[in-house]
Amino acid sequence: MTKERVVLDSDLRYLDKGNLFQSRSELSVAKMLSFLGHDYQYNVDLELPNGKSAKVDFKAGSKYIEVIDSEADVAKFKQLREQLPNLDIIAVGHSKYASKIEEMDSLFFFDSADHMQTGSIFIEDPSLAFDYAHILPLVEKCSVLHGHTSTVMVEVIGSMKNNLVVDFSEAKRMIKETLSVIDHKFFINNKYLKKEDDLHYYVAFDGP
């Protein structure tokens, strides 16, 4: 029996500027800081009043960013806020942790040289779905016409206005408008397209 490998986020490796990040979230923060022209340090040691030290994911100038990927990260962030109340730090992470950290939001921002605020927000909603039909000619069980329903998760990055990257309802409208272009369409690799006219596409392939 063939076993399928399940790939977890912990199986993946994210690299940028020689840094090995622990998650895609950390890589996103690094890319954002680089895009804004900020030099950053990764995995920085901070001295605590009790004589111990704690590592913070990012330091850019005098500001710190902690990426929340686990319950342990939540506990560490709360400890930093309690023991270093004057520390200029924000938390970035999955929305499922938002209720546990008052200061955390699903978007993050940083002032660039011209004082513009740039933010990022992930939008995931069951209504952001589309249906399509396709054929995979070289895969036996998929070599007949069949269909799927898929959903999308969209990351919106842009300048912030009134502390918002984009109004959520407007973002959903634009995403749905884009999805309507591919909704209920037939997907197949372009190499199987033999000819086309104003009304028809002609595809041909050898099955398994």
Residue 150 forms beta bridges with which residues? Answer: 130
**Poorest-pLDDT segment among 37-41, 45-49, 113-117:** 113-117
The yes/no answer on whether domain 8-112 falls in CATH 1.10.3470 is: no
Query: Model's pTM, two decimal places?
Result: 0.46
φ, ψ at 52 (rounded to 5°): -90, 175
Which contiguous run of DSSP H or E holds residue 175? helix 168-182
pLDDT in tens, 71-118: 888 888 888 888 998 888 888 876 565 555 554 443 344 343 444 556
| Proportion of the chain above pLDDT 90, given as a percent | 21
Sorted by sequence, the CB contacts under 8 Å of residue 89 that are 6+ apart come out as 56, 63, 64, 65, 66, 77, 80, 81
Name the residue ranges covered by the structural domains of the chain. Answer: 8-112, 116-208
Residues 152, 112, 105, 97, CA torsion sign:
positive
Nearest to 57 by CA among 111, 137, 70, 7: 70
Q: Which CATH architecture has domain 116-208?
A: 2-Layer Sandwich (3.30)
